[in-house]
Amino acid sequence: MQRPHRPAAASKPTMWVLAALLLLVPSSGQAAALEKPTLSVHPPWTTIFKGERVTLRCDGYHPLVVALRPISTLWYLGHLLLPSHRRSIEVQTPGVYRCQTRGALVSDPVHLSVSNDWLILQVPYAAVFEGDPLVLRCRGWYDKVVYKLHYYRDGQALRYFPSSANYTVAQARASDSGLYQCSGTMRIPVESAPMFSAKVAVTVQELFPAPVLKVAGRAEAGGVVVRCDTRVHPRKRAAPLQFSFYKYSRAVRRFDWGAEYTVPAPEVDELESHWCEAATASRSVRKRSAWLQLREPGSPTAAPGPQAAALAPGNRQLSLQKSLVSTSGLSVTSVPNATSVGLRVPTGRAASAAPAACAPRTPLEQSPGSLKPGLDQLLQEIRLLKGLLSRVLLELRDPRAFPERGATLHTPLARSVPGAPETLQTPSARSAEVPGAAETSAAGS
């Protein structure tokens, strides 16, 4: 007679594990509705001494499950599943802890450190946001009193206390983020040398980004609705914001819970003069927006209007392009379709629409042979001016070296300008040229 088949005893634990997993799997669409559970630490510090214990508590959605196997919470140390299924557990092992409730996601991690030093710096386990109080605790080995206590941030001294005390920032800001450290002495049994704790990173998270003022739509009677757009961090949804609206520096609506404001029809033409401000109810965190932008970023902007040309004294247009040759002593006349050195641009080329100083220089279409006569003439004039200046300097230094110039002075420009008088004569030279002028003058005296 064949005996009835019975399942093996080893299959029972497997079935219980599968049932527990099924209970923890959320139904369709339920995970999106449920939030992460909150993992808290008591006492609220992330660093403890070796041998101490802390209590972890998982707060979240805990539904009623099968009474035969009530599994409502899962605990993780790293990737290891812990055997406890209670809401709170005591731990002393360093590592990264997480928890999970039925139908919800895994909680945010908590990093627990265990130290064997004489001095530790304890910081809050929870994230610190803008406007929240920030408390740091420098603790001696098993609560020994710390003397000559200093707190540091990024290597810079912040505060000194004669004995054990917490360092507190009433309203944290993003600038309070950094690497913190403390130092002090302890009496074990005599006063020790200064000891330093390990450095601990503290990050102050942004509560909400700076708001952006946008056009939300049209209102009745020709007005325009604008919206002060920003969003609070998901972990701080319980801290709603208030909004205020301004036109230039004048407040058109004081702080209120509404994020929208209707610009009246007479002021619609001045929409871009409006801006807004978002703040917490206690005004511990306040941030303002930029001016209202009617055009989206990246959209083409209107071309700037024509600008008046810069005029030199005498109502002549200024040229921003540097001349190739110094114009001292030379007269340069601007000619249409000509450059500053007198080289004509080919008439077949269209004039550039950009200013001369900004337009890219186009290659000249003359052959090298057409440039040679102008350059030769320019070099010849430069050499002539150099010779005349040298001669004038010599005459000024030693007039006796040029006896023929004693009675007559010739200016440098007299030789180079056609039709100019050949000499400029002094009164003494003129009297010498008139016969008997000297004798008449002597007899008269």
* Reported pTM: 0.57
Using pLDDT thresholds of 50, 70 and 90, give the confidence band for residue 3: very low
Q: Which of 33-37, 163-167, 339-343, 365-369 has the highest mean pLDDT?
A: 163-167
Residue 101: what residue type?
T
Cα–Cα distance measured from residue 244 to residue 101, given in angstroms and rounded to the nearest whole number: 41
**Which of 20-29, 163-172, 336-345 comes out lowest in average pLDDT?**
336-345
Would you state the pLDDT for residue 222? 85
Question: Residue 372: enclosing H or E segment and its boundaries?
Answer: helix 368-397
Task: Using the predicted structure, report yes or no on whether residue 14 has a pLDDT greater than 50.
Answer: no
- Mean pLDDT of all residues belonging to the chain: 73
CA 423 remoteness from chain centre: 71
With a CB cutoff of 8 Å and minimum separation 6, the contacts of 50 are 114, 115, 116
Task: Using the predicted structure, report yes or no on whether residue 417 has a pLDDT greater than 70.
Answer: no
Q: What is the pLDDT of residues 426-440, one digit of tens each?
A: 444 444 444 444 444
Using pLDDT thresholds of 50, 70 and 90, give the confidence band for residue 9: very low
Q: What is the pLDDT of residues 293-343, one digit of tens each?
A: 876 544 433 333 333 333 333 433 333 333 333 333 333 333 333 333 333
Would you state the pLDDT for residue 364? 41
Cα–Cα distance measured from residue 84 to residue 130, given in angstroms and rounded to the nearest whole number: 36
Q: What is the pLDDT of residues 113-160, one digit of tens each?
A: 999 999 999 999 989 999 999 999 999 998 999 999 999 999 999 999
**Which of 68-77, 99-108, 272-281 comes out lowest in average pLDDT?**
68-77
Task: Using the predicted structure, report yes or no on whether residue 409 has a pLDDT greater than 80.
Answer: no
Question: Residue 374: enclosing H or E segment and its boundaries?
Answer: helix 368-397
Kindly write down the DSSP assignment for every residue of 195-235, as one continuous string: EEPPPEEE-EE-SSPPPEEEEEEE-GGG-EEEEEE----GG
CB 218 within 8 A of CB 210: no
Would you state the pLDDT for residue 373? 62
Give the pair of three-digit tokens for residue 58: 């998982």
